Amino acid sequence: MRLVAPSLLAANFGNLKQELEMINDSQADWLHLDVMDGVFVPNISFGFPVLQQVAAICHKPLDVHLMIVEPQKFIKEVKGLHATYMNVHYEACTHLHRVVHAIKEEGMKAGVTLNPHTPVHLLEDILPDLDLVLLMAVNPGYGGQVFIENTYHKVHALREMITKSHSKALIQVDGGVTADNADRLYKAGVDVLVAGTSVFRTPDPKGAIMALKGDK
Ligand code: DX5
Ligand code: ZN
C-alpha cells in the first residue's frame, strides 16, 4: 500500500479551515493529528476542543497520534472525533495490551508508536492485536527534523515480523519524510507515510501529496 497522511502540525493554524479544505480536495488518504502534552514530549500542540473543529471540517479518515502520558484516559475523547486510528506510544503504556483492547472495544483501529530508540522486537507479543505500527523516524515533539537513517532497518525487521506472525498491521513512518525518501520507504515495506513540513510548508501542498504517493 502507498498511503499518505499529511500531519496537521505543520499547517498554518491561522487558516485552519482553508488548510483542511485543501486536504479534503487532495489525494491525501488520511489526516494525521499530533497531540502533545509537554510531559511525554517537550512540546504542546493542540487538544480536543481544536480537534473537534478539525473533525467537523475534514472528510478524510483521522489518524490520531497521542504523544502523551496515560493515553488510555482519552479513548472516549478520541472516539468522539470519529477517529479511525488511535495511536499510543509503547513508551507511554505500562499495560499496553489493555490499552490496545480498550481502543478496539470502542470501535477504533489500534496503533502503537515506537520512539527511535525502541526496538521493534518488543512488539512481538502484541503484534497480532495491532492494526498499525508507527515507527518514529525523529524524536517526537517537533516537525521539521532530520530523518534518522536507522529507520530503514526497523522497517525491514518489522515487515519480517508481520509476515511471520500473519499480523494485519500496517507500517507507518513519521518524521522527516519527503518526496526524496518516500520511494525508498515504500520499497522497504512502509504502507503509510506521515508528512508535515514537506506537505504544508511548500507552495503546492496538493502536488507534494501526489509526489509522496509517487504520482508526479
Ligand atoms: C513529530 C510528529 C510528526 C510531525 C512530522 O513529533 O509526530 O507527525 O508532524 O513533521 P515532519 O514531517 O515535518 O517531520
Ligand atoms: Zn505524528
Residue carrying C-alpha cell 473537534 = 52
Which pLDDT tens digit goes with each residue over 81-102? Answer: 999 999 999 999 999 999 999 9
CA–centroid distance, residue 144 to ligand 1 (Å): 7
C-alpha cell at 79: 472516539
213 vs 208: CA distance, rounded Å: 9
Apex 60 CA angle, 27 and 19, nearest 5: 75
Q: Which of 174, 185, 200, 212 to mutate to test the pocket of ligand 1 (most atoms within 8 A of CB)?
A: 174
Which pLDDT tens digit goes with each residue over 140-198? Answer: 999 999 999 999 999 999 999 999 999 999 999 999 999 999 999 999 999 999 999 99
Considering every ligand atom, which ligand is closest to the CA of 7? 1
Which pLDDT tens digit goes with each residue over 56-65? Answer: 999 999 999 9
For atom 4 of ligand 1, the residue with the nearest CA is 143
pLDDT at 1 (0 to 100): 87
Confidence tier at 215 by pLDDT (50, 70, 90): confident
Cβ-based neighbour number of residue 78 at 10 Å: 24
Q: Which residues are 5's β-sheet partners?
A: 194
Helix axes 179-188, 205-213, angle to 10 degrees: 30
Q: Of 45, 50, 30, nearest to 142 (Cα)?
A: 45
201 vs 78: CA distance, rounded Å: 27
**CB-based contact 6:178 (threshold 8 Å):** no
- Domains of the chain: residue spans and CATH: 3-213 (3.20.20.70)
Measure CA 40 to chain center: 16
CA–centroid distance, residue 173 to ligand 1 (Å): 10
CA–centroid distance, residue 195 to ligand 2 (Å): 8
Those residues with Cβ within 8 angstroms of residue 153's Cβ, 6 or more apart along the chain or in another chain: none
Please state the φ and ψ torsions of residue 109, each to the nearest 5 degrees: -85, 140
171 vs 148: CA distance, rounded Å: 16
Q: Which residues are 83's β-sheet partners?
A: none
Q: Is the sign of the CA dihedral 117, 145, 184, 27 positive or negative? A: positive
**Strand ranges, E, within the chain:** 3-6, 31-36, 62-67, 85-89, 109-114, 132-136, 170-174, 192-195
